[in-house]
Structure 1
C-alpha cells in the first residue's frame, strides 16, 4: 500500500514537468519539423514542397554567412570568457574586505535581460553621441570617435558585450569548484617548494577538471545560441557582419519585429528548415565536444 502511495506521489510531482515539456518543448519541435516541408507564411493554406526549403537553404549564402559569423562570435566569446572567469574566481576566492560585494557586482549582468543590456550599451557605443566616444574625444585619447557598431568593429563590440554579460555566471561556478579543493593539498605543495604558478597549474586546473568541462559545455551552447543582444544592437548588420544563425532563423519566423520601411513575408516553412539545420550544427558541435571531453576525463 505504501509503495503504491509513493508511486502515485512521485508521478504527481513528475506530471506537471512532463506536461510543460510536452507543451513547450516536444510539441513546438514537432510543429517546426512538420512545417519545414511546407511553404507556409503564417496565414492561408500550407503548401507541401518536400525538400525545397532545405535545398534553398543549402544555396543561401546569407545563411552560411551567419554560420561563419556564429563561429567567430562563439569562438571570441569563449576565448575571453573562460580565462577571465577563472582568473576572477581565483582572485575572489581569497578572503578580503568587500569580496562579496565584488562578486555580486560581477554576477549582476547575468540576471539582467540581454535585450536590456543591449539597450544600455547602444547608448554607450553609439557612433555619434555615445558615452564612450565622448569620453575618448574629451580627454584626447583619440582624435575622433570610433564607429563601434560599424562594419569594422561591430563583431568585436558584440563579443565584448557578451563576455561582460556572461563572465559572472561562470565565475561563480569556478568559485564553487575552487572551494571544494582541500587546502591541505596547497599547504603540502607549498612545503615542497611549489610556487603559486606551479600550484595553479599542477593542482588547481586538474582539480577543477569536472567543473571546467561543465563550464565549457555551457559556454559553448550559450555562445552558439545567443542572439538577443545582437538583435537589439545591430539587427545583424551592418551588411550582415553580425548576423548569427539563431538571429537569421528569428528574422525568417518573425520579420515584423525588424526595422525597415516594408515588412517581408513571414516564412514559417523556410525558417523551420533553417532552425532544423541550425539545431543539427549546434548538436554536432556539442557531440564533438562531449567526445573530446572524454579525453579530459582521462587526464584529470
Structure 2
C-alpha cells in the first residue's frame, strides 16, 4: 500500500536531489557532455556573481515587507471572523478565495491593473485627484512595493484560515472569565488570545518564512525580476539559470551552476528558518 508513495518520492524528490547534488560539481548546460570542475561553481558564486547576492537581498526585503503586514493582518481578520457576526462565513470565503486561484492568473490581472498608462489603478487615482500623472508601479521606484502588495493580497486568506484553526482551539470559557474580570476585547486579545495561540503562531510564522523565501511566481509574471534586477529574488534567479527567458538573456542555460546556486539557496532558507525557530523557542522558554 505504501509502494506508490515510495515510488513517487523516489522519482520526484530523491532522484532530483541526487541529480542536483551531482551536477553542481560539473559544467553542464543540458546538451553537451558534462565536465567535472570540482568547486569552481561555488568559487564563481561566492566571488564573481554579485547579481545572485543582490537577489538574496531582494528576497530578504520582499520577505520582510510581506510578512510584517500579512501575518498581523491575517491574525486580526481571523480574530474578528471568529466571533458571531452576520455573514462571517461569506467573508471568510471571500478573503480565502485568492489562495485557490492560480498565482500566474492573479499576477497577470494585477499586471494589467498596475500598468502605467492603461491600468485601472492609475485611472482611479487620477479620477479622484490624488495624482496628476500616471505612476510607474512596475518601474524602478515602486516595483518591489507592488510585488509585496500583490503577495499580501494572495497570502492573507491562507494564513487567516490557519489562525482561525488555532483560535477555535481556545475555549470560550477563558474569554468569558476575562470579560467577568473586566477585560475588554483588546485586553482579551492581548492577554488571552496571543499567549494561547503561541505554539500555533510559531508554526504559522515558520511556514510563512519558508514559503515567502522560496516564492517567485508572482514576481516572474509581474516584472520578470526587473527593471534592472530590482525585484529579482533567489528562486527566480535559479529559474532563469535553468530556463532562460530568451536567447538574448545575460543569464544562459547552466544546469551545473544552477544546481550549485540552488544548493546554497536551500542552505540560506534552512539557516534563516533554524534561526527563527531557535529564537522563538528561547523566547517561549523565557516566558
| TM bracket (short chain) | over 0.9
Aligned to 2:257: 270
Greater displacement, 16-25 / 229-238? 16-25
Structure 2 residue 270 is the aligned partner of structure 1 residue 283: yes
Q: 2:29 aligns with which of 17, 36, 41?
A: 41
Structure (1 or 2) with the larger CA radius of gyration:
1
Aligned to 1:50: 38
State how far apart, in whole Å, the 1-side matches of 2:91 and 2:80 are: 11
Q: Residues 261 and 35 of structure 1: is their aligned pair in 2 closer, same or farther, counting only changes over 3 Å?
A: closer
How far the C-alpha of 1:297 sits from its partner, in A, is 3.8
- Count of matched residue positions in the alignment of Structure 1 and Structure 2: 286
Structure 2 residue 91 is the aligned partner of structure 1 residue 102: yes
SS at match of 2:237: helix
Aligned to 1:199: 188
SS at match of 1:208: helix
Aligned to 1:92: 81
Note the 1:223-242 alignment, pairs <5 A: 223-242=212-231
How far the C-alpha of 1:112 sits from its partner, in A, is 1.2
Q: Give the alignment's Cα RMSD to 1 decimal.
A: 1.4
State how far apart, in whole Å, the 1-side matches of 2:74 and 2:82 are: 12
Runs of 4+ displaced beyond 4 Å: 259-264
TM-score normalised to structure 2 length: 0.96
State how far apart, in whole Å, the 2-side matches of 1:62 and 1:154 are: 18
State how far apart, in whole Å, the 1-side matches of 2:218 and 2:247 are: 19
How far the C-alpha of 1:263 sits from its partner, in A, is 8.3
How far the C-alpha of 1:299 sits from its partner, in A, is 5.5
Aligned to 1:295: 282
Q: Deviations over 1:157-208 (max 9, x none)?
A: 1011001101101101111111111111111111111222211111000011
Gaps of 5+ in 1: 1-11
Q: Residues 263 and 193 of structure 1: is their aligned pair in 2 closer, same or farther, counting only changes over 3 Å?
A: closer
Note the 1:169-208 alignment, pairs <5 A: 169-208=158-197
Aligned to 1:19: 7
Greater displacement, 28-37 / 93-102? 93-102
State how far apart, in whole Å, the 1-side matches of 2:199 and 2:10 are: 31
Aligned to 1:211: 200
State how far apart, in whole Å, the 2-side matches of 1:32 and 1:262 are: 23
Aligned to 2:148: 159
How far the C-alpha of 1:96 sits from its partner, in A, is 1.9
State how far apart, in whole Å, the 2-side matches of 1:220 and 1:280 are: 14
Q: 1:221 aligns with which of 204, 207, 210?
A: 210
How far the C-alpha of 1:293 sits from its partner, in A, is 2.4
How far the C-alpha of 1:264 sits from its partner, in A, is 5.5
Aligned to 1:4: none
Aligned residues of 2:240 and 2:251 also touching (Cα < 8 A)? no
Gaps of 5+ in 2: none
Q: Residues 48 and 104 of structure 1: is their aligned pair in 2 closer, same or farther, counting only changes over 3 Å?
A: same
Q: 2:52 aligns with which of 63, 66, 76?
A: 63
